[in-house]
Amino acid sequence: MISLVLEDIELDLLNYVNYDFATKFNVLPIRRYDNGVIIICSEIMDKVINDLKVMFNDNVVPYIRSIESVQQNIAHYYEVFKSRQNLSDENLDDIYDDTIRTAIDMKVSDIHIEPNKSGSNVRFRRNGELEMFKKLSFRAHKFISTKIKVMSNLDITEKRISQDGKITYKYNDFKYNLRVSTLLTSKGEKISIRIHNNRNEYENIIDLGFSEEQIEIIEKYLMKKNGMIILSGPTGSGKSTTLYKFIEHINTEKVSIYTIEDPVEYEIDGINQSSINEKAGLTFDEISKNILRHDPDVLMIGEIRDEETAKVAVSSSVVGHKVFSTIHAKDSLSVVTRLIDLGVSEFLAIDALDLVISQRLVKKLCRCKKKKYIDEMIVFNKKYEKAKYYSPNGCEKCKFTGYSGRILLSEILVIDDIIKDMLLKKKIMADIRKYIEMKYFEYSFSQNVQTLIESGEVYIKDMEILK
Ligand SMILES: [Zn+2]
């Protein structure tokens, strides 16, 4: 018999629907998504859907499958669910390895263990989105949190202050760096684990998703001995990944590279990385003074977020070090204003900057997409008429989410002499933009977005929230 079992589902959802209900009405919840809980069923019965809405306290989105397919999935997943629950309560020894290995197999970036009244929830962040992995009993929670703290050399008696540590985890002949941090919440101690080099999605800068023209510009500026390269974008935009890949790209024996990070997120052989640790007296000020005494070729500052970090970044660049950093700013031109807002002199900010890259990650539509009518919309100042646009649909391949993977949207701004001059002369931004668009191919987000919408790579409504 052909197996009709889905690749994976969010097992936690089975907590809400008991086995008898599932088999009687032939329904199985698959996952939670933006529009509610996705279920598969062999026929749509309003009464059942309504019951499920109450059980989940959420909207329910049904997908019809054949009777056999739903039955097979129910049988398979309730079995897995049962064995997981037993694992949580009886096989305490396995729960640590089981959680970490599953996370690695699923290419998860973070594991969150969040205490609640009955124990804790273990959630995974994958492709930027959180999903439930499993619920732990109080006993299982206590066991796994102690084990993680021991493995990462944290003080197990200390529960009131946040602690940071790391674990080198060996699995399938590969070493994974796990960065552990604890945080006291009102419900108890929360543990987060970030899994680094999780079989690196990106081998080098070519894989990051920039266009060929952009890679050419990036490579040219990476090879320059000085100047400042800044990446901007909100949390989850992938800017740290890009930054690390840039550093790896220029990392050779001939170059001395130093970093100041809060904390070190990803370790690279052959470079000198320092984590800020205020409690241990390792302040940004202290570390940067030390590093500058070593006269580095390259200085990487994890994030420019206040006057101090902004001034060190800019002044180091002006005196001839090559500087890399990230900053929160809505687009690449706003980086200049952001630096000035943080207290850097306008002249120095403009003088120091060489290349600014602003980026976002957006969800890519799965091939099951369908065209649907969408009302008139404005995206990045461009008006889109009411028309049919590609919209998410849902199939087994994308686990009924309608999406598959992500696309990098980027804006690359070379701060060349003409732009420096225009900025210093306080030319209006619209003029500067016009010059940039004329000179640099595919410069702005809006052009990127337009192409992606028109070619059906992305859902127009997802683009609306990009600012
Ligand atoms: Zn699909």
The per-residue pLDDT for range 65-124, each reduced to its tens digit, is 999 999 999 999 998 888 766 555 556 778 899 899 989 888 888 999 999 877 889 998
- Dist. CA 395 → ligand 1 center (Å): 4
User: Kindly report the CA angle at 256 between 254 and 259, in degrees rounded to 5?
Assistant: 150
Q: How far is the CA of 427 from the centre of ligand 1 (A)?
A: 47
**In the chain, where does the domain assigned CATH 3.40.50.300 lie?**
205-463
Ligand 1 centroid – CA 300 distance (Å) = 40
Q: What is the pLDDT at residue 302?
A: 94
Determine the CATH number of domain 11-87.
3.30.300.160
**39 Cα: distance to centroid of ligand 1 (angstroms):** 15
Average pLDDT for 217-231: 94
For residue 32, give the amino acid letter.
Answer: R
- 3-state class (DSSP) for residue 38: strand
Q: Which residue spans within 240-336 are E strands per DSSP? A: 257-261, 272-275, 298-301, 322-327
Q: Is 203 exposed, middle or buried (0-12, 13-18, 19+ CB in 10 A)?
A: exposed
* Residue range(s) of every CATH 3.30.450.90 domain in the chain: 92-195
40: CA distance to ligand 1 center in Å?
14
pLDDT, tens digit, 9 for 90 and up, residues 242-273: 998 899 889 988 899 999 998 887 778 788 99
pTM of the model as a whole: 0.66
406 C-alpha to center of ligand 1: Å? 14
Q: How far does the centroid of ligand 1 lie from the alpha carbon of residue 161, in Å?
A: 44
Q: Over 80: is that where the pLDDT of 160 sits? A: no
- Give the pLDDT score at 38: 92
Pick the CATH number of 205-463 from 3.40.50.300, 3.50.50.60, 3.40.50.720, 3.20.20.370: 3.40.50.300
The third-level CATH classification (topology) of the domain covering 92-195 is: Beta-Lactamase (3.30.450)
Given a cut of 80, whether residue 327 has pLDDT beyond it is yes
Cα 403 to ligand 1 centre (Å)? 6
Q: Which of 332, 284, 291 is nearest to 307 (CA)?
A: 284
Peptide bond into 62 cis (omega under 30): no
Query: Cα of 130 to ligand 1 centre, how many Å?
Result: 19
What is the distance in A from the centroid of ligand 1 to the CA of 367? 6
Over 80: is that where the pLDDT of 153 sits? yes
- Ligand 1 centroid distance, CA of 394 (Å): 4
Q: Which one, of 157, 125, 121, 118, lies nearest residue 139 by Cα?
A: 118
Helices 307-318 & 284-293 angle (0-180, nearest 10): 10
Separation of CA 181 and ligand 1 centre (Å): 36
Strands 60-64 and 36-41 come out as parallel
| CATH 3.30.300.160 intervals, the chain | 11-87
What's the 76 CA to ligand 1 centre distance in angstroms? 22
Range scoring the smallest mean pLDDT among 13-17, 101-105, 200-204 = 200-204
